[in-house]
Amino acid sequence: MTPTSPCTWQGGSILTENPQAGFLRKVQRGDVEGCTSTEVLQEILYRYSAFGRRDLAGEVYDLFAQICPVVFSVTLADTDRARDLLVATEHLSARDAVHAAVMINREVEWIASFDADFDQVPGLRRLELPLGDCDRHRGARFS
């Protein structure tokens, strides 16, 4: 994962070579309910192409969509809420405001992320990555 994005990777096999692999394996097994949004999938494509790794963009996109079968669309209500969050939250980026808005509008409480800026968003709880053990969060829904 990148430090500024909740669900993107910089290369390698998602399930074996990244620090967050343990968490993703738990999502894949169904130990943790995972979900994502079209904004996250767009970021995967963007980041991999920006890193010059277009060869991995489709592979990572497909695997991530398979691991997180619940994919929320970004709506006008989400961008309206993102606008409000951006104005009210000092260090929150525009992209992170969209992620947070999608989650809040769908009552997804937990986000798995390196990004401490999500800690400022009322109504969200952050599971800091990389994970050692997320068993205490069994049954929680993550974006």
Determine the structural domain holding residue 28 and report its residue range: 21-121
* 142 occurs within a structural domain: no
Q: Tell me, what amino acid is at 104? A: I
Residue 75 maps to a domain: yes
Answer whether residue 98 is part of any domain: yes
Q: How many CA atoms lie within 13 A of 123 on its CB side?
A: 14
* DSSP symbol at 75: -
Give the chain's domain count. Answer: 1
pLDDT at residue 130, as a whole number: 61
Residue with tokens 């010059």: 52
Q: Tell me whether residue 6 is in a domain.
A: no
- Which pTM value belongs to this model? 0.76
pLDDT bin (cut points 50, 70, 90) of residue 99 is very high
Residue 132 belongs to some domain of the structure: no
Quick check: is 33 in a domain? Answer: yes
Q: How far apart are CA 70 and CA 33, in angstroms?
A: 9
Q: What is the pLDDT of residue 9?
A: 35
Average pLDDT in the chain:
80
For residue 118, pLDDT beyond 80: yes
Is residue 37 in some structural domain? yes
